[in-house]
């Protein structure tokens, strides 16, 4: 294990002397003002990537929410899932910068550590946003699976009432878990909001923490990934079969009613698998070995870890662009929205000009 762990590491903005034995963790935390070459490079990457993903992601998610509430998508079965996904992704994007070391160094303090309650709320919200984002993608996969396998029942199973009830249940369970997981989130002696403050000399505390950690990884990555790996190929195969049978029976092509929305939602599923799988694998590796995420010093792993974090950030900011690329209906709705807004602005300017001319101003 010594070959895997370096003497000084970072944990959510904390440098940690961290080692694991079968019986206990040993940890001594200090805030480091030094910066290694690799950390400096990562800081520069974060300084560029985080603002870009934040601006484009939040703007795209807000436009998605607005479009899903227009008449164009009034009968779109997955509109509530897309709205929920946009809100969850925006939550992650808005909370992500505060956990990065370069932000803490730039501010000179950890903004999350202004109060113990604020520290706990931060990690509760941040973790809940990640988990709910994953499960909204799962919900969309299940809805599309029902649409292609049981087209006569999908409107009953995924009615507005059932859909909102499912979202409410997910929100309750995930928020409850993340709130419970915050038991070990405290402000340490360096005034840093630390999510793993527990008694490492108490074997029961160590076991409880690792069980909670493994449950969190399952909710965030393992569970959703398994469902998507089963549902996605099934959807594609069923859709191909459906289109083939439809072409035999009639010249009418039902792509507008089934294939196009499915292609749009499949792009989100593929994006999740591509961009979240790397960081999920990283989490599984470090949890299995019982080491800190930032404690492994092997070059291949640190590179893989940093690239995985960047890909994860892309996952929360790319959906709007996937919708634009894969859905003609979404593009038309966006163009109509922008034109309507432009027309309103011109009309407002014209009315203002007319009022001034009448009053002689």
Q: How far apart are CA 65 and CA 54, in angstroms?
A: 16
- 163/160 Cα distance (integer angstroms): 5
Band (pLDDT 50/70/90 cuts) for residue 12 is very low
Q: Any idea which of 51-65, 280-294, 303-317 has the lowest mean pLDDT?
A: 280-294
pLDDT in tens, 206-243: 899 999 999 999 999 999 999 999 999 999 998 888 77
Residue 128: partners with Cβ closer than 8 Å, 6 or more residues away: 91, 174, 175, 178
Tell me the range of 1-5, 139-143, 281-285 where mean pLDDT is highest: 139-143
Asked if residues 289 and 210 have their Cβ atoms less than 8 Å apart, the reply is no
Residues 6+ apart with CB under 8 A from 211: none
Tokens of residue 198, six digits: 């527990």
pLDDT band at residue 356 using 50, 70 and 90 as cut-offs: low
Q: What is the pLDDT of residue 299?
A: 78
Q: Give pLDDT, residue 262.
A: 80
- Structural contact between residues 187 and 193, judged by C-beta atoms closer than 8 angstroms: yes
Residue 251: CB atoms within 10 A of its CB come to 6
Structural domains in the chain, sorted by start: 44-244+257-335 (1.20.1070.10)
168 Cβ contact list (under 8 Å, min separation 6): none
| Spatial separation of the C-alpha atoms in residues 92 and 299, rounded to whole Å | 28
Angle 126-135-256 from CA coordinates, rounded to 5° = 125
Question: Which of the residue ranges 72-76, 77-81, 159-163, 352-356 would you say has the lowest mean pLDDT?
Answer: 352-356
Mean predicted lDDT score pLDDT of the chain: 81
Mapped onto helix, strand or coil, the DSSP state of residue 186 is: strand
Indicate whether this model's pTM tops 0.85: no
Residue 267 parent element (H or E): helix 259-289
Token pair of 353 as six digits: 């000009």
Higher pLDDT, 319 or 200: 319
């Amino acid at each position: 294990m010594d070959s895997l762990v370096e003497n000084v590491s970072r944990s959510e903005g904390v440098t940690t002397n961290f080692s694991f034995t079968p019986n206990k963790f040993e940890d001594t935390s200090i805030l480091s003002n030094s910066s290694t070459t690799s950390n400096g490079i990562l800081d520069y990457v974060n300084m560029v990537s985080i603002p870009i993903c934040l601006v484009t992601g939040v703007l795209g998610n807000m436009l998605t929410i607005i479009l899903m509430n227009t008449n164009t998508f009034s009968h779109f079965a997955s509109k509530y899932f897309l709205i929920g996904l946009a809100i969850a992704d925006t939550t992650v994007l808005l909370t992500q910068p505060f956990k990065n070391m370069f932000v803490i160094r730039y501010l000179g303090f950890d903004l999350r550590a202004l109060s113990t309650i604020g520290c706990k709320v931060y990690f509760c919200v941040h973790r809940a946003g990640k988990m709910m984002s994953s499960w909204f993608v799962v919900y969309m996969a299940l809805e599309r699976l029902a649409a292609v396998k049981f087209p006569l029942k999908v409107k009953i199973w995924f009615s507005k009432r059932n859909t909102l009830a499912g979202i409410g249940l997910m929100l309750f369970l995930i928020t409850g878990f993340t709130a419970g997981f915050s038991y070990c989130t405290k402000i340490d002696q360096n005034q840093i909001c630390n999510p793993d403050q527990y008694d490492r000399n108490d074997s029961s505390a160590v076991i409880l923490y690792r069980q909670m950690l493994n449950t969190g990884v399952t909710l965030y990555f393992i569970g959703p990934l398994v469902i998507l790996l089963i549902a996605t190929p099934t959807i594609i195969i069923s859709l191909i079969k459906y289109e083939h049978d439809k072409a035999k029976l009639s010249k009418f092509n039902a792509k507008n009613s089934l294939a196009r929305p499915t292609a749009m939602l499949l792009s989100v599923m593929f994006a999740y698998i591509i961009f979240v799988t790397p960081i999920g694998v990283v989490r599984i590796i470090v949890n299995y070995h019982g080491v800190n995420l930032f404690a492994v010093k092997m070059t291949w792993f640190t590179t893989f870890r940093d690239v995985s974090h960047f890909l994860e950030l892309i996952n929360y900011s790319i959906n709007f662009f996937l919708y634009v690329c894969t859905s003609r209906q979404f593009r038309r709705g966006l163009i109509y929205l922008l034109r309507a807004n432009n027309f309103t602005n011109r009309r407002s300017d014209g009315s203002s000009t007319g009022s001034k001319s009448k009053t002689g101003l």
